[in-house]
Structure 1
Amino acid sequence: MERGMTNGLAADVLICGAGATGLTLAIDVARRGISFRLIEKLDDPFRGSRNEGIQPRTQEVFEDLGILDRIVAAGGFYPKQREYQDDGSFIETDVVEAEPAAPTRWDTQ
């Protein structure tokens, strides 16, 4: 059992969902010495992706946790979309067209 997590019913914080957000919150809450209970309705981990990248605010949280450099190093570009033709050939295109966003200090990461 991780520091801060409780087996009992009493906790300072209840975290619903053991996905990326819930687990990140649990890490941060545990770092601060706050007791928490983490609950998840699924029996197994979600098999797939629910996002298309790491947003600037998420990068700020990862930097605070001391893991941003490792995540950026392990990352890559979003894969291309593949569309198959009747003859078996295919065309690869970007899933979304890149649109410039307002610059942040994380844009150079």
Structure 2
Amino acid sequence: MRRELDKRTVDSNPLIQFREWYEAALKSNVLEPSAMTLATTSHDGYPSARIVLLKDYDERGFQFFTNYDSRKAEELKVNPRAALLLFWGELERQVRIEGVIELASREESEA
């Protein structure tokens, strides 16, 4: 039986709610709970999606690493708008995130 989201039980702060759900996914039997789909657009406007791994998150945003010369990095240089999707089917949950991607500092990338 599928459960529906009860908005009365969702925290009004999206980051707090994400933390609660992400920690539940980490503790459960979800395969690759940090795997998320990154959707970008190509230079000619076609959608492009691939799986990346969530490395960290805080009030500034969600962090993942990629090669600066990869296709996704090239697409983000042209159009920094992107979407992330984390899907935890076993928990009947998904989180959608939309926004502008910013390059991490060299210190963050090398940490």
TM-score band w.r.t. shorter chain:
under 0.3
TM-score normalized by the length of structure 2: 0.24
With normalisation by structure 1, the TM-score equals 0.25
Structure with greater contact order relative to length (CA < 8 Å, sep ≥ 6): 2
Which structure is higher in strand share? 2
Q: Which has the larger radius of gyration?
A: 1
